[in-house]
Amino acid sequence: MPWYKQAYDWVERRVQLEGFVKESAEHPVPSKTASWWYVFGSASFVLLLLQIVTGILLALVYVPSAGSAWSSLQVLNHQLPLGWFLRGMHGWGSNFMVAVVLIHMCQVFLFGAYKFPRELTWILGVFLLLMTLGMAFTGQVLRFDQDAYWGLGIGASIMSRVPFIGRQLVEFMLGGPIIAGATLSRFFTLHVFVIPATMLAFASLHVWLVLKLGINEWPTPGRLVKRETYIQEYNELTHKDGVPFFSGAIWKDAMFSAGIVLAVAVCALLLGPIGPTGVPDPTIVQTVPKPDFFFLWIYSALAFLPPSIETPVMLIAPVIGIIVMLVLPFVAGLGEKSWYRRPVAVLLVVVLAAGFATLTHLGTYVPWSPQMDGWSADPVPVHFVDQTKPLERQGAIVFQQKQCRNCHQMGGLGGRRGPSLDDVATRLTEDQLVRQVTQGGGNMPAYGKTLSPAQVTALVAFLETLHPSNQPVAIDASRHVAETNNPAPKEPVEAIRP
Ligand code: HEC
pLDDT in tens, 225-238: 999 999 999 999 88
What is the pLDDT, as a whole number, of residue 478? 66
What is the pLDDT, as a whole number, of residue 367? 53
Q: Which residue, among 428, 414, 435, has the nearest Cα to 493 in the 3D structure?
A: 435
Taking residues 408-415, report their average pLDDT: 78
Question: Does position 324 have pLDDT exceeding 50, yes or no?
Answer: yes
Question: Does position 372 have pLDDT exceeding 80, yes or no?
Answer: no
Q: Quick: pLDDT tens for 172-206.
A: 888 877 777 888 999 999 999 999 999 999 999 99
CA distance 244 to 209: 17
Distance from the CA of 416 to the center of ligand 1, in angstroms?
10
Question: Does position 148 have pLDDT exceeding 60, yes or no?
Answer: yes
- For the CA of 404, the closest atom of ligand 1 is 37
Residue 252 sits at the vertex; the CA angle it makes with 249 and 256, to the nearest 5 degrees, is 150
Question: Does position 483 have pLDDT exceeding 80, yes or no?
Answer: no
Q: Quick: pLDDT tens for 78-133.
A: 999 999 999 999 999 999 999 999 999 999 999 999 999 999 999 999 999 999 99
Q: Which residue, among 96, 39, 31, has the nearest Cα to 244 in the 3D structure?
A: 31
Distance from the CA of 407 to the center of ligand 1, in angstroms?
7
- For the CA of 427, the closest atom of ligand 1 is 26
Least confident of 101-105, 115-119, 388-392, 457-461: 388-392
CB-neighbour burial class of residue 70 (10 A; exposed 0-12, middle 13-18, buried 19+): buried
**Residue identifier of the C-alpha nearest atom 2 of ligand 1:** 407
Q: List all residues whose CB is within 6 A of at least one atom of ligand 1.
A: 285, 370, 399, 402, 404, 406-408, 417-419, 421, 424, 427-428, 433, 436-437, 441-445, 447, 459, 463
Half-sphere exposure of 254 (CA within 13 A, CB side): 7
CA distance 435 to 212: 64
Q: Categorize the per-residue pLDDT at 290 as very low, low, confident or very high, splitting at 50, 70 and 90.
A: low
Q: What's CA 37's distance to the chain center, in Å?
A: 27
CB atoms within 10 A of CB 87: 26
What is the pLDDT, as a whole number, of residue 28? 86
Distance from the CA of 450 to the center of ligand 1, in angstroms?
15
**Residue identifier of the C-alpha nearest atom 34 of ligand 1:** 404
Distance from the CA of 466 to the center of ligand 1, in angstroms?
14
Cα–Cα distances (Å) from 35 to 29, 99, 118, 121, 208, in that order, read 11, 20, 20, 20, 20
Distance from the CA of 101 to the center of ligand 1, in angstroms?
39
Q: 306 or 272: whose pLDDT is higher?
A: 272
Percent of the chain with pLDDT over 90: 44
What is the pLDDT, as a whole number, of residue 286? 41
What is the pLDDT, as a whole number, of residue 375? 42
